[in-house]
Amino acid sequence: MIHQLIFAAPKPGMSDKEFQDYWLNVHAVKYASKIPQIRKYKIDTVLPFPALGEPLWSGIAEIWLANEEEQLASLQTKEFLEGARLDEPRWAAFWRTLVLDTDAYELAGGPDASTDPAGVKLVSLVKRKEGLPLEDFRERSRTKHADLVTRIPGLRRYMQGHTRDGAYGIGEAVLDSAHQLWFDNVDALSAALNSPEFRQAEEDLRTFTEPRYIHRLVVREHWVIGPEPR
């Protein structure tokens, strides 16, 4: 199954709150969720977290599609062309949108943040170090590095989403993976980021990725379709 992540920001003149409210309560409900090929659909609203700096985006859409054929079909539907696509300029700065199609790997099982109103998720975007073969990067991410991450205190679930091979067909993908770490609340996340275990995992991450391309967001999850697929 394709796990697509869409990172978006508000159009000029729209606040983060207005953007998030429109995306979650209007666009997702009236337009995007009507696309029949979408099996599951989640909106992640970005939370202020000064320790990580200013985020590049204000929210993430997570969409699950069965395969490439259904993904292509979804982009040709009336619901997309005359609905979701036409609605996007009303709230999103489309020139700042980033789309990643990923293969997801669950490396530590547990409930996602949507099961608890206080639950939060840390999303880390990374690019491998220049010259490192893609398969070596993926292997290192899912083994040695994942072992270090699973030791972080308070972690309740952990997934990696690796950019699918199709993004490398005619060049380099913008990013190679998105890592998702779930915590009970903001305090648990703060404690985790200050732990020796996180620092060790961070030091390891920087040995095989480009530090200047690491970007992190703290989000709260909202299911639109799911958690069970339709």
Average pLDDT, the chain: 95
Mean pLDDT of 149-173: 95
The DSSP bridge partners found for residue 102 are 3, 163
Distance in angstroms (rounded) separating the CA atoms of residues 130 and 208: 9
> Residue 133: is the preceding peptide bond cis (ω within 30°)?
no
What single letter denotes the amino acid at residue 78? Answer: K
Q: What is the pLDDT of residue 91?
A: 97
Name the percent of the chain lying above pLDDT 70.
Answer: 98
Q: Residues in the chain, how many? A: 230
Q: Is residue 230 part of a domain?
A: no
Tokens of 152: 């972080």
Q: Is residue 12 part of a domain?
A: yes
Q: Give the number of other CB atoms < 10 A from CB of residue 120.
A: 23
pLDDT in tens, 124-157: 999 999 999 999 999 999 999 999 999 999 999 9
Q: Is residue 150 part of a domain?
A: yes
Q: Is residue 106 part of a domain?
A: yes
Write the DSSP assignment of 81-119 as a string of letters.
IIIIHHHGGGTB-GGG-EEEEEEEEEEE----GGGSTT-
Tokens of 11: 């159009």
Q: Is residue 121 part of a domain?
A: yes
Distance in angstroms (rounded) separating the CA atoms of residues 184 and 157: 10
Structural domain range at position 178: 2-225
Mean pLDDT of 82-91: 96
Domain count, the chain: 1
| Cβ 163 vs Cβ 105: under 8 Å | no
Q: Is residue 128 part of a domain?
A: yes
Mean pLDDT of 32-57: 96
Q: What is the pLDDT of residue 129?
A: 97
Q: Is residue 51 part of a domain?
A: yes
CATH code where residue 72 lies: 3.30.70.100
Among residues 105, 86, 114, 112, the alpha carbon closest in space to that of 146 is found at: 105
| Cβ 9 vs Cβ 57: under 8 Å | yes
- Using DSSP's 3-state secondary structure scheme, residue 50 falls into helix
Distance in angstroms (rounded) separating the CA atoms of residues 52 and 124: 11
Question: Which DSSP helix (H) or strand (E) runs through 163?
Answer: strand 157-163
* pTM of the predicted structure, to 2 decimals: 0.94
Question: Is 60 exceeded by the pLDDT of residue 114?
Answer: no
Distance in angstroms (rounded) separating the CA atoms of residues 226 and 149: 27
